[in-house]
Structure 1
Amino acid sequence: MTQSSPPVVAMPLRVRYHECDPQGIVFNAHYLAYFDMASFEFFKAVFGSYDTLRERGVDCVVAESNLRFRAPSRYDDELTVEVAIDHLGTTSLILAFTIRRGEDIVAEGTNRYVFVDATALAKAAPPDDVRAKLLAHT
C-alpha cells in the first residue's frame, strides 16, 4: 500500500488521550477518522476548499476503505498523515494515506471515493476542470 506519487498534503496530528483504548494505544477506528480529516486537507490544497468542489456540482462519497497497521500509536504521539492520489478513474478517485511517527510508518491505507452529482447524489463523472486539477497531482 505504499504511495506511488508524492504526497499532496502532510497533515500534522497529535494523538489525544480519548483516542486510546485500555491498552494505551490508538483505537483502530480512529485511523479512518485521521484519513477523513486529512482528505479534507487534500481537497483544500487542490481546490481551495471542499465547498469549491461542491460548487462545481460534484461531491465525493467513500465507497471502500483499506487500512494496514504497522506500529502502535500512543497518547501524545506526534503523527503526520500524508495524502497522495493513488488512482484517478472516470468516476472514482483513490487516495493513499501514510501515517508516520517521525520516519516510522504507523499505518497506511486507501479510500476509494466515487464522484456523485452534488444535488442528486447519483454517480457522475467530475467536470473536466475538476479532473484537470486532480491530474496535476498524479
Structure 2
Amino acid sequence: MPNGQPHGRVRLRVRYGETDRMGVAYHPHYLVWCELGRTELLRQLGTSYRALEDDGVLLAVVDVGFRYHAPARYDDEIEVRTWLLERRSRSLTFGYRIVRDDARLASAYTVLVATDAAFRPRPLPAGLRAVLDALVDR
C-alpha cells in the first residue's frame, strides 16, 4: 500500500465455512473479502453500490490479481485494507492488502469498468469522479 495513501479498513473473522480441509481459508473467499473492503470504502466516502445502481451505473469487475503470502485460518481476525490505485474516465483500479496483526496474508487488485444496464461501457458519473479525485488528492 502506498505510504500516505488514504484507505478503508474492514475487520472480519474467518468463519468455519470459509475454510477447506487443510484448515485454511479457501481462496475464492479472499475475493469476497476484497469486495467487502471496496464496498465499505465507497460507503465511507459517502456513496454506495446501491446508490450507483439506482442511478443506472453498474461497476463490473473485469480484471483481478492475487498474491498469497500466508494462510488465513479459521477464527483468525483479519483486516482488509483497500485503496484506490487509479481512476480513469470509465474504470477504477483498487488495491487490497489482507492482514492478520499487520502480517500480510494476501495482496490483490481489481479493475472495475462502469457500464449501463445493458453492460455497455459508460463514463463514471461526475459525482463519483469528484469523490474519488478528492480521495487521491488528500
Normalising by the residue count of structure 2, what TM-score does the alignment of the two structures yield?
0.90
Instruction: Tell me which residue corresponds to 1:70.
Output: 69
Alignment of 1:32-47 (within 5 A): 32-47=31-46
**Residue segments in structure 2 that go unaligned for 5+ positions in a row:** none
Shift of 1:131: 0.6
Q: CA deviation at 1:3?
A: 4.3
Counterparts of 1:55 and 1:5, CA distance in 2: 33
Q: Structure 1 residue 80 and structure 2 residue 79: aligned?
A: yes
Q: Partner residue of 1:12?
A: 11
Distance 2:58 2:3 in 1: 25
**Structure-1 separation of matches of 2:3 and 2:63:** 19
Counterpart of 2:77 in structure 1: which amino acid?
Answer: E
Number of equivalent positions: 136
1:136 corresponds in structure 2 to: 134
Aligned residue for 1:127? 125
Q: State the secondary structure of the residue aligned to 1:18.
A: helix
Alignment correspondent of 1:108: 107
Question: Tell me, which stretches of 5 or more residues in structure 1 are unaligned?
Answer: none
Cα distance in 2, alignment partners of residues 37 and 3 from structure 1: 20
Change (3 A) 1:107 1:3: farther
Deviations 1:109-137 (A, max 9, x none): 000000112x3321001122221111111
Is the counterpart of residue 93 in structure 1 residue 119 in structure 2?
Answer: no
Question: Secondary structure at the residue paired with 2:111?
Answer: strand
CA shift in 2, pair 1:28/1:45, >3 Å: same
Q: CA deviation at 1:8?
A: 2.6
Counterparts of 1:132 and 1:87 in 2: how far apart (Å)?
13
The root-mean-square deviation of aligned C-alpha atoms, in Å, is 1.6
Give aligned-pair identity as a percent. Answer: 30
**Mapped partners of 2:122, 2:115: distance in 1:** 5
TM-score normalised by structure 1 residue count: 0.90
